[in-house]
Amino acid sequence: MSATRTQQDIRDRTIVGAGLLAGGANVIMQLAHPAVGYGVVESRVDDGNIYKRPVKRTRTTLTYLAVAMLGTDEERSAYRRAVNRQHKQVYSTESSPVSYRAFDPQLQLWVAACLYRGIEDVYRVFVGPMDDETADEIYEAAAALGTTLQVRPEMWPADRNEFQRYWERSLGDVSIDDTVREHLYGIATLRFLPRPFSLLLGRFNRFITTGFLPLRFREEMRLDWSPRQQRRFDRFMKVLAAVVMRQPRILREFPYNAYLWDLRRRLRTGKPLV
């Protein structure tokens, strides 16, 4: 299969804007590693703080996902340089409860692994079960979620079996304390949005976020979940998927297509990328 064909297949199968409903759960998974969690909570980069700059933080994250999965090598390199300038300011101090630095490739590997698991979740909800060939293609493409930054290609587990072993080992590092939990609970309940929106949508987003969380992370967040809630979640996602996957591609891919377009516009005009 040609590279162009593979990329188009990946786009058709994984780029679903409604999958952003799983975003809160994926952030929780990433920050469940204490070094990642405190790297975000203590970050001195206000532009990357979702509570201070929610629109810009969202744009940076979604643009990264779009360029990593669908961008050219040149676009990835440009975005890497822009993100690196932000990451230079993210490192632990003597008062930090854990040691961290944003350039740590092992921490970036964990974040990339969580993003890949998120792609799997969104695919299963909106498209359906994966066959082995599809799963292998998506897994291979997902390596760019890490290698777009400091993860070396050889660090990405060689295949899905190796990835599963890596994932199970890494779960031993998962731990969410009260400080990080409070930060993440605010994301789950949309407290970073203006109060009218968080009051209107926060409870719903908490429900969706909890539904997408694997049990281990749900327990770390101390979020209750019952069989009845699981049935409600499954019914809702089934209806949503039926609607979304019948939309024209330009709508189905929004806002990823818009952010990728914006990145290319910024590159042409010399505007900051993040």
The rounded mean pLDDT for the chain is 92
Distance (Å, rounded) from C-alpha 220 to C-alpha 46? Answer: 27
Task: Report the pLDDT value the prediction gives residue 97, as an integer from 0 to 100.
Answer: 96
For residue 101, the cross-strand partners are: 91
Distance (Å, rounded) from C-alpha 83 to C-alpha 104? Answer: 14
Q: Which of 213, 70, 233 is nearest to 144 (CA)?
A: 70
Task: Report the pLDDT value the prediction gives residue 196, as an integer from 0 to 100.
Answer: 94
Domain boundaries, the chain: 3-269
Distance (Å, rounded) from C-alpha 186 to C-alpha 188? Answer: 5
* Terminal-residue alpha carbon distance, the chain: 34
Q: Give the model confidence (pLDDT) of 24-61 as tens digits.
A: 999 999 999 999 999 999 998 887 789 999 989 999 99
**Is 6 a residue whose pLDDT tops 70?**
no
More confident residue, 16 or 101: 101
Task: Report the pLDDT value the prediction gives residue 10, as an integer from 0 to 100.
Answer: 60
Region 179-191: what's the mean pLDDT?
A: 97
Distance (Å, rounded) from C-alpha 217 to C-alpha 219? Answer: 5
pLDDT band at residue 4, thresholds of 50, 70 and 90? very low
Q: Which segment, 122-131, 205-214, 250-259, is predicted with the most confidence on average?
A: 205-214
pLDDT band at residue 2, thresholds of 50, 70 and 90? very low
Q: Give the model confidence (pLDDT) of 90-142 as tens digits.
A: 999 999 999 999 999 999 999 999 999 999 999 988 888 888 988 998 999 89
